[in-house]
A and B are shown apart, each in its own frame.
Chain A
């Protein structure tokens, strides 16, 4: 159990800069999810913390101890790999015990830890089997078990759920979360799946092009995304973005599509005509008599809700999510409630608060 501090971490492969100065402080027992599209540097960050890659600059401290110069095995961490990396010629038990054996732990201690972890994960009956005799979910558990027996200061998960089918993924997700809470081990979890990120993390790190675009709790990120990238990445279906300009002394935005919307929370800085990007989540768009007409071109029924795709008069796409079955109409009048608007700078994409 320990804290993790990453500061000023950069990584370049030759002329390619993968990480541009990552700062992150993880508290004892916290579960941090690093999320981002592929190629954003999230796996590289995890591998640097693991010691499988070396950073170009910056420091990593686990429980206050600088570990940059240490071998992976000396960092007191455990990692769960994407394809589990269970040794195929060893039984489940040998797989779990291997790291402890190398560390020279006494046999009874190894047996105790393996039995304990196996009990915790419900894989006791599988101990004598080999990895290829196990199902995907069971392999996943064994990979977790191998990490747990080490009783590490830090757990690292490298997209461990991406090889499972959808149903099992949801189940294992909950299981990992429960287990992490119960063991109270500080954890870093890398994923590209925003649902996984939202449900698992105490806090999220949204990575974009080698930067940490935002580090905050899931709800904070959902409610107040720091820029258009984060806003578009978190939430499903993705947030709608509409172009507009600032008007009336910063009190309103004039959308390119026509309507003029008044800010609910106060004026934004900047001169008349400052370009803005207005974000609104599909679930926040309302149906209103006399609203903007939205001709629909696609209706996706999901059972409990319906996702409608349409185009505003200006030609911009707008996605609306409604509870219940969708309306039969070809065109709907919609309103964009002022309180649900997210205001971003039109050029930098950064969030603008009053």
Chain B
């Protein structure tokens, strides 16, 4: 009985936490099932309405019907997915290789290279946005998927994480591989990569969501409707001033935008937790 009561408080707190996190999502979900006038009146309905199908169809097929029409959600989801995948995969590939070089090879300027990479942590895209923009334009990558993703790929965080992980790999594996006659790339492929799988998976989840949530850079570098991403598109649907917004469609769009990251997290959850907690050594 005592145990029952002592676990009551923690549960109440947890419940409160869940409510705070879940409430906005719930309101969005409900809002996406009502018609424009219900929400336009300023009501916050708490029970599902009957306009779900038409709202989602509007979002999916036409991207709204009002003054602030954007590309259909189907198109924007695809763009966002490609962008997030390119960023996540690109970041992982580049940082795996650079961490490999920094940890396992002795070459002149090794530490300088590492610290240079490290210093870019202080220069996220938002800080260097104008020069980056200029470079992309002069490279003729404006309005292209390459221009959208490449500046976001180079990052120190993943390199740093992989470096720390590689440093924990016992020197003996390297030596055993040398005795086995495995060259550097062979060692990388046969031993280092399999050992890093859980770390890669965990990082993929984080980086995919990072890529998915990009707003400022895609807003700037893409004005071609066919390349619009869903995060930017959604923001564009919200007009300023007295404009009459189609909140119901916007909310449907928001729910759709939520689904791919949620799917990635759910699918990779097992790996993600493994990567954070377990080391296979």
Which of B178, B179, B182, B281 is in CB contact (< 8 Å) with A88?
A: B281
Q: Which residues of B contact A98 (CB under 8 A)?
A: 180, 182, 190
Q: Does B186 contact A (CB under 8 A)?
A: yes
* Docked pose: A119 CA to B180 CA in angstroms: 22
Knowing A87-B191, A88-B280 touch, does A71 contact B178 (C-beta < 8 A)? yes
Please give me the residue from chain A that is nearest to B182 by CB atom: A102
Q: Which residues of A contact B176 (CB under 8 A)?
A: 79, 81, 85-87
Find out whether the CB atom of A99 lies under 8 angstroms from the CB atom of B280.
Answer: no
Q: Which residues of B contact A90 (CB under 8 A)?
A: 194
Interface residues of A in 36-71 (CB under 8 A from B): 50-52, 71
* Docked pose: A84 CA to B172 CA in angstroms: 8
* Docked pose: A98 CA to B170 CA in angstroms: 18
Q: Interface of B with A (CB < 8 Å)?
A: 170, 172-173, 175-176, 178-182, 186, 190-191, 194-195, 280-281
Q: List 23 A-B contacts (CB under 8 A).
A: A51-B178, A71-B178, A71-B181, A72-B175, A72-B179, A72-B181, A73-B178, A73-B179, A74-B181, A82-B172, A85-B175, A86-B176, A87-B176, A87-B191, A88-B281, A89-B191, A89-B195, A90-B194, A98-B180, A99-B179, A99-B180, A103-B181, A132-B280
Q: How far is the CB of A300 from chain B (nearest CB, A)?
A: 38
Find out whether the CB atom of B180 lies under 8 angstroms from the CB atom of A73.
Answer: yes
In addition to A72-B175, A102-B180, 14 A-B residue pairs with Cβ atoms within 8 Å of each other are A51-B178, A73-B178, A73-B180, A77-B179, A81-B172, A83-B172, A84-B172, A85-B175, A89-B191, A89-B195, A89-B280, A90-B194, A98-B190, A103-B181
Q: Does A78 contact B (CB under 8 A)?
A: yes
Q: Which residues of A contact B190 (CB under 8 A)?
A: 98
Find out whether the CB atom of B280 lies under 8 angstroms from the CB atom of A85.
Answer: no
Find out whether the CB atom of B173 lies under 8 angstroms from the CB atom of A52.
Answer: no
Find out whether the CB atom of A52 lies under 8 angstroms from the CB atom of B180.
Answer: no
Find out whether the CB atom of A52 lies under 8 angstroms from the CB atom of B170.
Answer: no
| Majority DSSP secondary structure for residues of A touching B | loop
* Docked pose: A84 CA to B281 CA in angstroms: 12
Give the contact-size bracket for chain A: 20 to 34
Q: Which residues of B contact A88 (CB under 8 A)?
A: 195, 280-281
Q: Which residues of B contact A103 (CB under 8 A)?
A: 181
Q: Which residues of B contact A74 (CB under 8 A)?
A: 181
Find out whether the CB atom of A85 lies under 8 angstroms from the CB atom of B170.
Answer: yes
Q: Which residues of B contact A82 (CB under 8 A)?
A: 172
Find out whether the CB atom of B186 lies under 8 angstroms from the CB atom of A81.
Answer: no
Q: Which residues of B contact A78 (CB under 8 A)?
A: 179
Find out whether the CB atom of A83 lies under 8 angstroms from the CB atom of B179.
Answer: no
**Ranked 5 nearest A-B pairs via Cβ:** A73-B181, A85-B172, A99-B180, A85-B176, A89-B194
* Docked pose: A285 CA to B181 CA in angstroms: 54
Find out whether the CB atom of B179 lies under 8 angstroms from the CB atom of A50.
Answer: yes
Find out whether the CB atom of B180 lies under 8 angstroms from the CB atom of A85.
Answer: no
Q: Which residues of A contact B175 (CB under 8 A)?
A: 50, 52, 72, 79, 81, 85
* Docked pose: A219 CA to B152 CA in angstroms: 70
Which of A51, A72, A83 is in CB contact (< 8 Å) with B170?
A: A83
* Docked pose: A288 CA to B170 CA in angstroms: 57
* Docked pose: A86 CA to B175 CA in angstroms: 11
Q: Which residues of B contact A73 (CB under 8 A)?
A: 178-182
